Structure 1
Amino acid sequence: MRDPTARLTDLFHRHADDVHAYARWRVADADADDVVGEVFLVAWRSLDRVRPGQERAWLFGVARTVVLARRRQNAARVALTDRLSNLRELRTVEGPSEKVALRDRVRQALDRLGDADREVLVTVGWFDLSPAEAAKVLGVSRPTYAVRLHRARRRFRAVFDEIGAAQGPSPAPATTGPRTVSTPGGTR
């Protein structure tokens, strides 16, 4: 059998342009390179499943899966941003330009947070899980989840305020979240 590196290099030279053209058709030009990179990463990890003579079709199937996953992730991100922007603890904004600015600020704040903080905020802000459900999803106890949620909200608020200070005055979220969190000693 051929060297895996040589086989992947050969696949890339023969099919990367076609995969890139497909990706450009399905996503923004700026994202097409990332899609191609993900496709060939999957190919590298799965070379034993790529049958000779069927490589092109297999690569296009992977590209389609990658594109769909990116769309789902983007939709989830937009929905989370919209949901966080529309939470009642956000002060009322007047016009569409203020709403757009607020959503952009929320998105920037989320981007600056670590994965763990984003994950905790997503469970409560987008998936609307109860504290018990979210704790189970994250594989932690309810009190641990409550602490992580509190800290994630605090960090979100700090980053949100920092962005706001850099951009000038605009609506700001309240310090507390929309949910109460049950703990062994009661509800907070």
Structure 2
Amino acid sequence: MISENELAQVLGVSRTPIREAIRLLSSEGFLRVIPQKGIQVEYISFSKVKEAYQVRESLERTAFRQVAETWNPNTDETKRHKKAVLEVIEKQRESASTGDLEQFYHYDEVYHDKILEISGNETLSAYVRQVRGHVNRMRYLEFYETQETDRIIEDHEKMFQFIEENQVESLDKKLTDHLDNIWSYYDYIFEKYPEYFAGRR
């Protein structure tokens, strides 16, 4: 159990922002506030992960398809987008080569955020970020167990190739496979970290 006071002291801030953060995280199912006792991190809920994943996949597929459909290599804006995406992939490659998994994971998120940004749909991007938290609780465990940096980089390169070639259906399949990979390791993750989960299903 942790308390507002403890968090405020550790972070060096007043209780007001701490209280607001706790309220938000509690409303989204990440924390449980127990009156007179403290705050507890919620177990990972398979149903919440699955629901959030379905929403994320649907929204990202929409955004990625839109980018592939409208990609025009001849505009200055598109050239800037291409440069930015390739820089992110290069940052991932550098992080993988040095074994900096925290940075690699960060740039994995940045890659997806960049494609969402290129789509120009700010509302869609905001919803993806909102639901991503529950998915990432599983993804974080899966990523640090498998450390499949080469596969992820290859997927990102291939998806961007499909975008540049306006291959919408090929991109859609690759993105779906890329996101679905998390479920390949669910049983393994659950067996190794059963104490993190609120039941198997």
Q: TM-score, normalised by structure 2?
A: 0.28
Q: Which protein has greater RCO, CA pairs closer than 8 Å, 6+ apart?
A: 2
- Could you say which structure has the higher helix fraction? 2
Q: Which one has a bigger Cα radius of gyration?
A: 1
